[in-house]
């Protein structure tokens, strides 16, 4: 065991003493492997230093992007950027600080946060409490990009598949900066269908023109440098949480009618009735999705589809069932199932078993581990067991869905490797896998499957 490996085993702490002796061997080998992150987002250095509360707000699914929706439009942003007097007045009127304290207070009492504090304290060599961790972390983020690189390299990141459709309005310069700064790790971009729709939906143009612009943009994303100046390795769709069951749509007249309905309502004030809002553009979105998937199929590139997970306030949880992707996996025409490469995201969490079963049944459907990794923390062990009980090792993709703060890449990598090693140990001890098969399985999950799916050099 080399010094670095010994150092990392030391970090396993109390966890280690309870493990089967075989675990040590397996963990040591898995821990040395590189990682490809099959789905994540970029981070920027806009907010390098953070208070503990702000850090928890930024990385919690209960708070990220949700907090502004608990106040009338624009109020929270005003509060965030306001001086003391502005904040005082807004607090008096809307109780903003009190509400955030309540939300973050609960977040801070999750085992997830208590565990990540202990883990980060080891990486940062400081006391294992949130204040000390944030102080040590804020010391490091003065050199933001050095810190990010240290985190990525500590867990072996080599490629990140970045969904540029969620990047908090980052400019081309900010995106390229991230792309440059993470080296030797490499950024590979994925194009989100909704990115194009966001550009085109507000335009007062005919359906024909919409259709033509949509196609031009789609081809530029796939074949040109349409993804903020670079090529896309694959596509991403956010359609499932909007509409539920996705049935491919080829009928232009139905799509045209949907475009007309969207035009009529577009400039009206949005309501909190998400379902009726999405229903207006449902057929247009199905049509766009179908066109995009046809193009993916032609090029043999994959389509990632948001599945499971939360991301309040915009998603509709009841729509997120992995089985709603069955028609897309089939993608049949003229009596033939055509096998586009489908990657349901976020482990379908919490419907992990359904997402796993979908990938078991459809050879062209993959299984991706993000959000569940790292948010399920210690129980990743059980979840990985559940995934591996039915999904071939050659179809499971490690991913983090890291967003907002750089620690999420690291945490996902650290826990992803540890609990994958633990689950593989179970199979080795039980006699289903020998040691070499287990390590080869880890290679596939952590980087090989991603490289072959996206044909990376
Ligand atoms: Zn994502």
Q: How far apart are CA 53 and CA 108, in angstroms?
A: 9
Average per-residue pLDDT in the chain? 94
Tell me the per-residue pLDDT of 345-358, one tens digit each, with 9 for 90 and over.
999 999 999 999 99
Predicted local distance difference test score (pLDDT) of residue 269: 66
Q: What is the mean pLDDT of residues 78-90?
A: 95
CA–CA distances in Å: residue 73 to residues 86, 140, 310, 312, 437 = 16, 35, 21, 16, 54
pLDDT of residue 237: 98
Q: How much distance in Å is there from the Cα of 345 to the middle of ligand 1?
A: 8
Token pair listed for 181: 């700064």
For residue 10, how far is its CA from the centre of ligand 1 (angstroms)?
32
Encode 207-221: b = buried (16+ Cβ within 10 Å), e = exposed. beebbeebeebbebb
> The whole model's pTM is what?
0.94
In this predicted model, what pLDDT tens digit does every residue of 374-421 receive, in sequence order? 999 999 999 999 999 999 999 999 999 999 999 999 999 999 999 999
The arithmetic mean of pLDDT across residues 72-87, rounded, is 94
pLDDT of residue 14 exceeding 70: no
As a whole number of angstroms, the distance between CA 381 and CA 349 comes to 15
Between the CA of 90 and the centroid of ligand 1 the distance, in Å, is 32
Coil vs helix vs strand at 336: strand
Q: What's the CA-to-centroid distance between 325 and ligand 1, angstroms?
A: 17
Q: Give the orientation angle of helix 380-388 with respect to helix 352-361, to 10 degrees.
A: 20
- Residue 135, C-beta contacts closer than 8 angstroms, at least 6 positions apart: 126
The reported pLDDT for the residue numbered 1 is 46
pLDDT at 376: 95
Distance 180 CA to ligand 1 centre (A): 21
Q: From ligand 1's centre to the CA of 451, what distance in Å?
A: 19
pLDDT tens-digit map of 181-198? 999 999 999 999 999 999
**Tokens (6 digits) for 104:** 């973050």
In this model, does residue 15 exceed pLDDT 80? Answer: no
Q: What integer pLDDT is reported at residue 63 of this predicted model?
A: 82
Query: Which residues have CB less than 5 Å away from ligand 1 (the ion)?
Result: 401
Average pLDDT on 205-225 reads 97
Question: How far from 371 is each of 291, 302, 309, 401, CA to CA, in Å?
Answer: 28, 19, 7, 6
Cα gap 220→345, rounded to integer Å: 24
In the predicted structure, residue 162 carries a pLDDT above the cut 80:
yes
CA–centroid distance, 270 to ligand 1, in Å, is 24
**Ligand 1 centroid, distance to 206 Cα (angstroms):** 32
Mean local confidence (pLDDT), 145-167: 97
pLDDT exceeds 80 at position 68: yes
For residue 282, how far is its CA from the centre of ligand 1 (angstroms)?
A: 21
Q: How many angstroms does the Cα of residue 31 sit away from the middle of ligand 1?
A: 25
* DSSP per position, 144-213: HHHHHHHHHHHTTEEEEEEETT-STT--HHHHHHHHHHTTTSEEEEEEEHHHHHHHHTT----HHHHHHH
Tell me, in angstroms, the distance from the centre of ligand 1 to residue 390's CA: 24
Higher-pLDDT residue of 340 and 67 is: 340
Q: Residue 172 has which token pair?
A: 């081309």
Beta bridge partners of 248: none
C-alpha of residue 401 to centroid of ligand 1, in Å: 5
**Predicted local confidence at residue 457, as pLDDT:** 80
Ligand 1 centre distance from Cα of residue 39 (Å): 6
Report CA(305)–ligand 1 centroid distance (Å).
10
pLDDT tens profile 274-310? 888 888 899 999 999 999 999 999 999 999 999 998 7
Instruction: Quote the ligand 1 centre to 163 CA distance (angstroms).
Output: 6
CA distance 441 to 425: 11
CA nearest 5: which of 35, 23, 33, 31?
A: 31
**pLDDT at residue 5 above 80?**
no
Domain locations in the chain as residue ranges: 3-52+143-453
Cα–Cα distance between 345 and 179 in angstroms, integer?
A: 23
Provide the pLDDT confidence category of residue 67 given band limits of 50, 70 and 90: confident
Mean pLDDT of 426-432: 97
Domain 3-52+143-453 has CATH 3.40.50.300: no
Q: Higher confidence at residue 128 or residue 15?
A: 128
Distance from C-alpha of 385 to C-alpha of 391, rounded to nearest angstrom: 10
Determine the distance separating the centroid of ligand 1 and the alpha carbon of 40, expressed in angstroms. Answer: 5
Q: How far away, in angstroms, is 399 Cα from ligand 1 center?
A: 10
């Amino acid at each position: 065991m080399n010094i670095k490996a010994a150092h990392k085993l030391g970090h396993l702490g109390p966890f280690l003493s309870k493990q089967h002796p075989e675990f040590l061997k397996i963990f040591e080998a898995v821990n040395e492997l590189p990682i490809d992150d099959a789905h994540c987002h970029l981070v920027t250095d806009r907010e390098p230093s953070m208070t503990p509360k702000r850090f928890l707000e930024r990385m919690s699914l209960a708070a990220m992007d949700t907090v502004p929706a608990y106040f009338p439009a624009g109020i929270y942003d005003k509060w965030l950027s306001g001086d003391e007097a502005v904040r005082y007045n807004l607090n008096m009127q809307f109780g903003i600080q009190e509400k955030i304290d309540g939300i973050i207070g609960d977040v801070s009492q999750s085992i997830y946060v208590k565990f990540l504090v202990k883990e980060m304290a080891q990486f940062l060599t400081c006391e294992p409490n949130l204040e000390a961790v944030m102080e040590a972390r804020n010391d490091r983020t003065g050199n933001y990009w050095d810190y990010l690189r240290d985190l990525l390299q500590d867990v072996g990141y080599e490629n990140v598949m970045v969904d540029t459709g969620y990047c908090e309005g980052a400019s081309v310069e900010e995106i390229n900066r991230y792309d440059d700064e993470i080296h030797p790790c490499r950024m590979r971009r994925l194009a989100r269908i909704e990115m194009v729709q966001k550009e085109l939906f507000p335009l007062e143009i005919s359906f024909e023109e919409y259709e033509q612009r949509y196609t031009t943009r789609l081809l530029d994303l796939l074949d040109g440098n349409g993804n903020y100046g670079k090529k896309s390795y694959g596509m991403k769709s956010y359609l499932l949480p909007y509409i539920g069951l996705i049935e491919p749509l080829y009928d232009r007249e139905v799509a045209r009618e949907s475009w007309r309905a969207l035009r009529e309502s577009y400039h009206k004030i949005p309501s909190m009735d998400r379902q009726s809002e999405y229903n207006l553009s449902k057929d247009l979105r199905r049509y766009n999705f179908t066109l995009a998937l046809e193009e993916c199929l032609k090029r043999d590139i994959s389509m990632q589809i948001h599945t499971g997970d939360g991301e309040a306030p915009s998603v509709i949880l009841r729509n997120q069932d992995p089985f709603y992707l069955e028609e897309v996996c089939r993608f049949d025409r003229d009596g033939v199932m055509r096998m586009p490469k489908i990657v349901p995201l976020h482990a379908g969490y919490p419907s992990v078993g359904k997402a796993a079963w979908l990938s078991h049944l459809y050879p062209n459907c993959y299984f991706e581990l993000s959000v569940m990794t790292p948010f399920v923390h210690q129980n990743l062990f059980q979840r990985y067991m559940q995934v591996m009980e039915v999904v071939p090792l050659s179809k499971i993709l490690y991913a983090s869905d890291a967003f907002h703060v750089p620690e999420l890449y690291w945490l996902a990598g650290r826990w992803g490797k540890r609990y994958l090693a633990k689950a593989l140990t179970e199979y080795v001890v039980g006699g289903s896998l020998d040691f070499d098969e287990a390590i080869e399985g880890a290679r596939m999950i952590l980087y090989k499957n991603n490289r072959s799916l996206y044909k990376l050099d």
